[in-house]
Every structure is written in C-alpha cells, then in structure tokens.
C-alpha cells in the first residue's frame, strides 16, 4: 500500500540551529512529494514540492528538500531555524501516474524552537 511516514513525532531545536525533518515514502513508482506547514489552529501552507528533475528542491521561507530514490526519502531541511518556524510539518505523496487520485499525508512532525 502507498504510504508516507514521518518517523519523528516531535523535534526540538534551538533558534539558529540547523533542521532536518525526515520523510519516507512507499510507492510503486516515483511519486509527487510535498511538504506543508501548519501553524496552530490554521490551515496548511505549501512549502515545496517535487515532481521530477533536480532532486534538490527549494521552497519558501528558506526551506529545501532533497529527493533520494535509493533511500525512499524526501527530507526537509533549513540551515538556520527561526522562532517563527515553530509549527507542525506534514509530508505528503501522490501517484505520479494513473487516474486514481490519492494524496497521502504523513502524521506530521511538531517542531519546537527554543530561544
């Protein structure tokens, strides 16, 4: 079955430190992959997406993600975290072919930023 897994439920980092949030996927073929961010009580905002081509994807707010086929991963990174980055982050995947629509979300990683 198709799935997206975020192994870390909660991560705490200090402001200014680097960040990496993990995402693993299980699909028959290379899926479309997305990272969304959600502030408390708000909707989801798209940070970046991967469809094909360059495996390093740049997004908004200084985030980037790297697609690694050999590891079935699509980890989100940021070189220096700001207090405003505290939020919940969701990785999502979708089949890149076929007519059956299905966007599958991971369960999210809650990011806490210490001053």
Partner 1 sequence: DGGITQSPKYLFRKEGQNVTLSCEQNLNHDAMYWYRQDPGQGLRLIYYSQIVNDFQKGDIAEGYSVSREKKESFPLTVTSAQKNPTAFYLCASSSSLAGADTQYFGPGTRLTVL
What letter does residue 40 receive in the DSSP assignment? T
Q: Is 83 in the site for partner 1 (CB under 8 A)?
A: no
Residue 63, class by beta-carbon neighbours within 10 Å (0-12 exposed, 13-18 middle, 19+ buried)?
buried
Please identify, among the stretches 20-28, 42-50, 60-68, 77-85, the one whose residues bind partner 1 according to the rule CB under 8 A: 42-50
Near partner 1 by CB under 8 A: residue from 1, 9, 53, 115: 9
Q: Is 74 in the site for partner 1 (CB under 8 A)?
A: no
Q: Rounded to whole angstroms, how far apart are CA atoms 76 and 109? A: 11
Q: Is 43 in the site for partner 1 (CB under 8 A)?
A: yes
């Amino acid at each position: 079955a198709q799935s997206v897994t975020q192994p870390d439920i909660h991560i705490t980092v200090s402001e200014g430190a680097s960040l990496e949030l993990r995402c693993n996927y299980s699909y028959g073929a290379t899926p479309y992959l997305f990272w969304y961010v959600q502030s408390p009580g708000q909707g989801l905002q798209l940070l970046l997406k991967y469809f094909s081509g360059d495996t390093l994807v740049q997004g908004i707010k200084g985030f980037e993600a790297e697609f690694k086929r050999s590891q079935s991963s699509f980890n989100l990174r940021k070189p220096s975290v700001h207090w405003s980055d505290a939020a919940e982050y969701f990785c999502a995947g979708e089949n890149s072919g076929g007519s059956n629509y299905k966007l599958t979300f991971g369960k999210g990683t809650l990011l806490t930023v210490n001053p």
